[in-house]
Amino acid sequence: MSATGRRYASAAGALALVVAFAWLVAQQPLWERALSAIFPGSANPVYPGVTLADLVVRHLAIVGFSSGLTMLVGIPLGVWVTRPSGADFREVVAAAVDFGQTFPPIAVLALMVPILGFGLGPAIVALFLYGLFPVVSNTVAGIEGVPRTLVDAARGMGMGRARILLTLEVPLAARVIMAGVRTSVVINIGTATVAAAVGAGGLGDPIIRGINVQNFAYVLQGATAAALLAVVADSLLAVTERLLTPRGLEA
């Protein structure tokens, strides 16, 4: 199969996975039957009040906002510290994003509540900080992985710094940057379940409620959906990574 053919095939595969997942979360009766089979003693095995589809949508909103913010801030930040103007801040930024990931998100949530109140706000701040590290460090690694001789050749031909960044460094670093985004998003989908603790909702809701009321069917329902969502997102981002890889670099 040609390189183009392989690209389309993997994109089609990932899209099929997305459709299958969407269909599965919409099958409320199916989940009821499955969960009653696993937990025969439970009177109400399915998380009540909200459909699974709504929980997934809510979860995606939390992840989308926080990861979007992570990319919006993380990629430019990573690029900036590789520029002469930001080079002095490189160590500081590296330490800060490292700290952002080592600091437990649940603690960030707790600390944010007095400032931002309950709900979406503290969740997004905590997840944003938590996901920054892989994006920033991969952006730096990707840009610095571009051979200096290429940049030298580009300068020698009269390309300006901005043009070199946009037409040479970023395209060549795209694959590595996307790998960082992918890691960040997949981690985020799992970690976002914690956000339910401050009332942000999402797939963490049935998990936390399940723990509180000792109904492990709820826990299983939320955890299964979150895990499947992570798998689907991972394959979708893997395809994106591949599509962003310049043809000339494909093996």
Partner 1 sequence: MIRLTEVTKRYGETLAVDRISLEVPTGEVSVLIGPSGCGKTTTLRMINRLIEPTSGLIEIDGEDVMSVSPEELRRRIGYVIQSVGLFPHLTVAENIATVPRLLGWKRERIASRVRELLAVVGLEPAEYAEKYPRQLSGGQAQRVGVARALAADPPVLLMDEPFGAVDPLTRERLQAAFERIQREVRKTVVLVTHDVDEAIRLGDRIALMRTGRLEQYDAPEALLDHPASKFVHDFVGADRALKRLGRVRVADVMRTDVVMTADGTRKIDVAACSGGRFVYLVDDDGVLEGWVDCRVLAAGTPAEEAGTRVDWREAAATPDTTLKDALSQMLGLGFRDLAVVDDRGRLLGEVSLRAIEQTMSGSDAHVSNLAEGEVLGAPADTGEGEVE
Chain positions contacting partner 1, by CB under 8 A: 147, 149-150, 152-160, 163, 168, 171-172, 246-249
6 versus 155: smaller Cβ distance to partner 1: 155
- Whether the CB-CB separation of 215 and 46 falls below 8 Å is answered with no
29 versus 247: smaller Cβ distance to partner 1: 247
**Which string of b and e fits 164-201 if b means at least 16 CB within 10 Å?**
bbeebbbbbbbbbbbbbbbbbbbbbbbbbbbbbbbebb
Q: How far is the CB of 250 from partner 1 (least distance, A)?
A: 9
d(C-alpha 39, C-alpha 45), whole Å: 7
Residue pointed to by tokens 């992918």:
182
d(C-alpha 182, C-alpha 188), whole Å: 10
33 versus 161: smaller Cβ distance to partner 1: 161
Q: How far is the CB of 172 from partner 1 (least distance, A)?
A: 6
Q: How far is the CB of 166 from partner 1 (least distance, A)?
A: 13
DSSP labels, 154-194: HHHTT--HHHHIIIIIHHHHHHHHHHHHHHHHHHHHHHGGG
d(C-alpha 169, C-alpha 150), whole Å: 9
91 versus 152: smaller Cβ distance to partner 1: 152
Q: How far is the CB of 245 from partner 1 (least distance, A)?
A: 9
Q: How far is the CB of 3 from partner 1 (least distance, A)?
A: 11
1 versus 3: smaller Cβ distance to partner 1: 3
